[in-house]
Amino acid sequence: MTAVFGHLNPDTDAITAALVYASFLRRTGREAQAYRLGEPNRETEFVLRTAGVDLPPLLDSLPEDSAVALVDHNESSQSLPSLATLNVTHVVDHHKLGDLATNVPVYLRFEPLGSTGTILAKLHREANLPIEQTDARLLLSAILSDTLHFRSPTTTPEDREVATYLAQIAGIADVSAYAGGMFAAKSDLGDIAAEKLLKMDYKVFEFAGRPYGLGVVETTNPGYVFGRKAELLSAMDQEKAKSHLAGVVLSVVDILNETNRTLVLSATEELMLREAFGANIEDGVADLGSRISRKKQIVPVLEAYFEGQ
């Protein structure tokens, strides 16, 4: 039995990719079960609810040497804490290759595309396996979520083409209206605790050997998030201490206007953002302009910055 899961603090791509890839593995003759490594955000809840699909079970540990398939991530800091004791047999991802290494040959499929969903749709096509209607809906949702409905610079022509194909199978005639529903659900943050808001789409990266927490809130209503700035800074401070991080930032991405204004906790993060991005910083908020993709516009810049130190 292969356990299939996406990253910690799962987003729509991480959860739908686990569900669809587990189904793909089963349909191609392997026993597989989808899991999640955390609570879904409201966008993902909306996607699963409207698709009539149950959440995959929460996973916190597995017996040593269990076979696992990673989707939508490959770095140990974003995975099950016991990953080093497990047997990674498959990885399907669209992120940079981090600290993954294996003792034996395995299956890896990485493509620089907008979402893992796009790659999974291609895997079905290549295997001449028809995509089921529900799976098409899940994969389309992943593409719309990760590319912010094609607004993100991570969007490729292949993402658009595959999304059109999936929308037909899923029977979603008005993709814009559906994406609007997803983003409205994601932006409905009313009663979420500040710690949860910080962790909703949050990943830890190693730069120059030290861990940094990079959170993102994608919302159609950034004013609401900035209204909770004091609470959020306190949550960031707690998390930095608790997890022994070198820095924590929280990017508030305005989905509709495609801007990124990032909450800065202390002088450490301020220096990093000013030097790495030349960012203008006022009242603890760094203006990162139109850098709305953490993967493509934030992480590589920080990596280059720390490598040059």
Please answer whether residues 260 and 292 qualify as being in contact, where contact means their C-beta atoms are separated by less than 8 angstroms.
yes
Contacts of residue 305, defined as CB under 8 A and 6 or more positions apart, other chains included, come to: 207, 272, 275, 276
Q: Does 100 bind a copy of itself (CB under 8 A)?
A: yes
Q: Does 106 bind a copy of itself (CB under 8 A)?
A: yes
Q: Does 157 bind a copy of itself (CB under 8 A)?
A: no
- C-alpha 301: how far from chain center: 18
Shortest approach of a copy of itself to residue 20 CB, angstroms? 18
Q: Does 176 bind a copy of itself (CB under 8 A)?
A: no
Q: Does 186 bind a copy of itself (CB under 8 A)?
A: no
Q: Does 193 bind a copy of itself (CB under 8 A)?
A: no
Q: Does 303 bind a copy of itself (CB under 8 A)?
A: yes
Q: Does 99 bind a copy of itself (CB under 8 A)?
A: yes
Shortest approach of a copy of itself to residue 302 CB, angstroms? 10
Shortest approach of a copy of itself to residue 308 CB, angstroms? 12
Decide whether 98 or 284 has the Cβ nearer to a copy of itself.
98
Closest listed residue to residue 25, CA positions, set 94, 89, 111: 89
Classify strands 285-287 and 259-264 as parallel, antiparallel or unpaired.
Answer: antiparallel
Q: Does 105 bind a copy of itself (CB under 8 A)?
A: yes
Closest listed residue to residue 213, CA positions, set 255, 241, 189: 241
Segment contacting a copy of itself (CB under 8 A): 1-9, 11-19, 93-101, 189-197?
A: 93-101
Decide whether 233 or 292 has the Cβ nearer to a copy of itself.
292
Decide whether 55 or 108 has the Cβ nearer to a copy of itself.
108
Residues in contact with a copy of itself by CB under 8 A are 94-113, 125-126, 295-296, 300, 303-304
